Amino acid sequence: MATNTRPLLRFITCGSVDDGKSTLIGRLLHDTGSLTDDQRSAAGAMPDFAALLDGLEDERTQGITIDVAYRQFATPRRRFIVADCPGHEQYTRNMATGASTADLAVVLVDARKGLLPQTLRHTAIVAMFGVRHVVLAVNKMDAVEWSRDVFERIVSDYRNHLKQLDAELAFEAIPLSGLKGDNVVESSSRTAWYPGPTLLRALEDADAASADPGTAFRMPVQWMSRLPDGRGYAGTVVAGTIKAGERIRVEPAGTEAKITHVFGLDREIESAERDDAITLVLDRELDVARGDVLCSADAPAPASDQFSTRVLWMDGEPLLPGRSYAMQLGTRSVRATLTSLKHRLDVESGAHLSATQLRMNEIGTCEWHLDQSVAFEAFADNRELGGFILVDRHSNATAGAGVIDFALRRSGNLHWQSLQVDRAARARIKGHRGRCIWLTGLSGAGKSTIADAVEAQLNLRGVHTYLLDGDNVRHGLNRDLGFTAADRVENIRRVAEVARLMVDAGLVVLVSFISPFRAEREMARELFAPGEFLEVFVDTPLAVAESRDSKGLYAKARAGKLPNFTGIDSPYEAPDRADLMVDTSRQSIAECTRAVLDLID
């Protein structure tokens, strides 16, 4: 008999809690003879298949970010790698990890319960991350007396759900019992009404139907090294082939060169293909950085800094327009700002719902602006160049994962206009350079009073200034914004952009805003050159700020008449690297003013 006649198949098992995923895999391994003699002996005549799987020592990754058990096994017809993904909702991120590299998904359903929200969520994630083949394993059929009606009702409901999701998935359904082994490896006499394959036969016959990355050469650069023959550019080929003598193009820079040498792990080789780890030497040195993509010169990858994407949000803090994250695309990390949340996916109905934020485990269509152009391809065409993760820039925790659908057309139509008068010329005519002094703190802390006093002193010195006050700006520029978290983010984004333009004009800009979120203040800082942005934390105790309550805002918030009020029912995140801290409960306004002026000087 031929051995492993079909290519390796990577598949995942997923579904809701207690649908029997671990039991099914344990049964599959047991009945295909994929256990060692010691494991089989330990299992005994009546093994607990779920416990058996947990006891297998193999590749297992654990942690807050990833908790997916991988197991390799083989039959005479095929080799497999299976990922057992947790069913609990809080581990949805782990299921996404398994789906991102899978060719097929086995979606389990408990025949007694039918389709559950987590079943539908996992199906949406599977479709999003490029899995194109689903086996619906209707498990625990023995608990419903092998009812054909129950099976067909579940299959019909699932088929309708796929239509609602508009998911292009190859789909087949199998009635089985992971505990008793019916239709797992051997066909069951209890399902004479079912003419289809067993689970094992379906896996053996399945096509590895993930996206074909194409034939054009693509290699993200991982690192550079100095070799005797020249500078080497190392990475893993993610599409196409390459050999010495061919021309390559570096994206996004657009420079070109010819390949002189191709090195494998320990020797020079004639050519390389997909999944090969190689080092390329060029006929001339180019300005190449980690994360750049070496491409076929005849068919280079596109580059852009604005994208439409689908995102699975994984963080406890919601995703809000205006927030910035580190976006990891292959080997490149860039700063990405969410410019628009187009809609949220209702995983149960497939409907696109309007949304102002994404919460944990929600999927949405989002538009992003990056701080630099990157080479990419749509995820549907190339997983490696079209998939990304989002990292919280303060905690370094993985906050989301997504796929690129397309570059926004407007990104190719926008270009910086070259101007004769720059900020240096504007600074010369004013006699000083522009700067942004950003005062943050609770309402009533004294920010506006200090900012007003500082501006008055600067004005006496002949310094050109402008004061952007939170209340004043909301009468005009930001009059359309409320006080939700999303509105607060947009409020600060707009003000930061206005302050940047004023600093470019040579003004010393004083910004007096509560600005409660660290992420937005950090976003503001990054708009400016080093030394142009100074953060002043007016660190006054809540009780003191509340006692001043000249506007009656705290009283309204305590009475429930002013929701989302900072310090009461909305958090204030104190700066972790303020340039200056003052406290108006212990220092006079004059003392605070002198401290800010000293900082500016």
Instruction: Identify whether the C-beta of residue 316 lies closer than 8 Å to the C-beta of residue 398.
Output: no
Find, among 218, 259, 213, the residue nearest to 236 by Cα. Answer: 218
Burial of 254 from C-beta contacts in 10 A (0-12 / 13-18 / 19+): exposed
Query: Which tokens in the block code for residue 537?
Result: 């934390």
Catalytic one of 515, 547, 570, 585: 515
The conformational region for residue 371 under phi > 0 = left, psi -120 to 50 = alpha, else beta, is alpha
Question: How far is C-alpha 432 from the geometric centre of its chain's CA atoms?
Answer: 42
Which amino acid, 556?
K
Beta strand pairing status for 332-345 and 247-251? unpaired
The secondary structure of 132-198 as a DSSP string is -EEEEEEE-GGGGTT-HHHHHHHHHHHHHHHHHHT---EEEEEE-BTTTTBTTTB--GGGTT--S--
Handedness of CA 369, 375, 377, 379 (dihedral sign): negative
DSSP 8-state symbol, 89: G
Which amino acid, 83?
A
Q: Three-state SS for 344?
A: strand
Q: Where are the beta strands (DSSP E) in 206-276?
A: 218-227, 230-236, 242-243, 247-251, 255-263, 271-272
Residue with tokens 């995923």: 21
Beta strand pairing status for 332-345 and 352-353? antiparallel
Instruction: Identify whether the C-beta of residue 313 lies closer than 8 Å to the C-beta of residue 399.
Output: yes
Handedness of CA 416, 417, 422, 423 (dihedral sign): negative
Q: Give, for 295, the enclosing helix (H) or strand (E).
A: strand 293-296
177 is catalytic: no
Distance CA 585, CA 544 (A): 7
Beta strand pairing status for 332-345 and 324-329? antiparallel
What pairs with residue 335 in β-bridges? 326
Measured N-to-C along each axis, helices 485-504 and 518-525 cross at an angle, to the nearest 10 degrees, of 20
Distance CA 422, CA 426 (A): 6
Burial of 111 from C-beta contacts in 10 A (0-12 / 13-18 / 19+): buried
Instruction: Identify whether the C-beta of residue 397 lies closer than 8 Å to the C-beta of residue 390.
Output: no
Cis peptide before 318 (omega within 30 of 0): no
Distance CA 573, CA 559 (A): 23
Residues forming the active site: 515
